[in-house]
Amino acid sequence: MSAHGTDHLYRMAERYYAHGRVDAAIDALLRLLGEDAEQADAHAFLALCLVKRKRLHAANLEAQRALELAPESGFAHLAAAIVAIARREFESAQSHLLTARESDPDSAAIADAFARLYLAWGRDAQALEHARRACELDPDDPDYPALLASLELRRGDRARAEALARDVLRAHPEHLEALCVLGHCELAAGRTDSARDHAAWALQIDPTDGDALTLMAAVKARRSWLLGLWWRLQSFVSAGSRTRAVTLLLGIFLLYRVALIALPQNGLSQWTGPLSYAWLAFCAYTWIAPGLFWRSLKKELDQVKLRPGF
């Protein structure tokens, strides 16, 4: 195949990817690489597509091949960083992004990748800074304000998050991240039916999307008081860094142990038994509730149907 033919396949893959047709983009890139296996950008692009499909081992192989073919390529380092973020190899991702930024310091895509890295790493302030930078560098790309909306919601500025998400959806009504952010804003405002509609719409676009599933789970938690307790507890515990989560869990256990020691010393021995039973009940609930919750959620998802014209 001529260089013109491989260029056509690459542009075709870009169009497919831009419209969310990731599998079609993968097919086009595989055809391209079948004709010319030495195209570093094609390997890097394929790595990004494979991350979307959560095929992380294959994505890592493609990113490494891109780096072997073009060790100075900023795009290859960007792809390697995104793969590393998905694999939760944060220091490696940061190293690749720093190298990529040296070749293109004004790249909105690299600023966005930095924001997503620091978000996954639990460094929200740095994530917010880079998300704003990405929006400044390329205000026309909907992915950047959608991520900024998510970060604004995470830090508690719901009004700003909602405004950003609605701006994105006016021009791109099927943008997954913006749909989920707006759904969470609706849920926080008590508009449960609207939040469920946004979750259903997002799941109709991509049934495997983690953010959409999380939103639907949050809607289910709001509607089911008993099973929702587990969702609210795990959402509270997991918010923020891993260190915070571990500290909270250890703190709960230490409070329980301190109470067991303090009650007899204060003439309240009769409460040690009920406290122990309550602790066992809490442990049993946190063990059993996830399975019941996700089974209930699956039933909810099986009923998801969009209203005509939604």
Instruction: Name the token pair of 155.
Output: 């830090």
Burial 246-274 (b: 16+ CB within 10 A, else e): eeeeeeeeeeeeeeeeebeeeeeeeeeee
Identify the sign of the CA torsion 50, 53, 55, 60: positive
Q: For residues 216 and 196, give the distance between their C-alpha atoms in angstroms, rounded to a whole number.
A: 6
* pTM of the complete model beyond 0.75: no
pLDDT tens track, the chain, 310 positions = 445 568 899 999 999 988 778 999 999 999 999 999 999 999 999 999 999 998 999 999 999 999 999 999 999 999 999 999 999 999 999 999 999 999 999 999 999 999 999 999 989 899 999 999 999 999 999 999 999 999 999 888 999 999 999 999 999 998 999 999 999 999 888 898 899 899 888 888 887 777 888 888 788 777 776 666 666 666 666 555 556 666 776 777 788 778 778 878 777 878 777 878 887 877 776 777 667 666 766 666 665 554 443 3
Q: For residues 279 and 253, give the distance between their C-alpha atoms in angstroms, rounded to a whole number.
A: 9
Q: For residues 243 and 201, give the distance between their C-alpha atoms in angstroms, rounded to a whole number.
A: 35
Place of tokens 């067991």: 260
Q: For residues 222 and 224, give the distance between their C-alpha atoms in angstroms, rounded to a whole number.
A: 6
Q: For residues 204 and 212, give the distance between their C-alpha atoms in angstroms, rounded to a whole number.
A: 10
Place of tokens 């940061």: 94
Q: Return the ∠ at Cα 144 (arms to 237 and 159), rounded to 5°.
A: 60
Q: Are 60 and 48 in contact (CB under 8 A)?
A: no
Helical pair 108-121 and 90-103, crossing angle rounded to 10 deg? 160
Q: How far is CA 192 from CA 164, 218, 222, 303, in A?
A: 20, 10, 8, 16
Q: Are 171 and 184 in contact (CB under 8 A)?
A: no
Instruction: Name the token pair of 154.
Output: 């995470």
Q: For residues 265 and 273, give the distance between their C-alpha atoms in angstroms, rounded to a whole number.
A: 15
Q: Are 297 and 184 in contact (CB under 8 A)?
A: no
Residues 6+ apart with CB under 8 A from 236: 248
Give 94-132 pLDDT, tens digit per residue.
999 999 999 999 999 999 999 999 999 989 899 999 999
Q: Any idea what DSSP says for residue 52?
A: H
Q: Count the helices and strands in the chain (H runs, E runs).
A: 16, 0
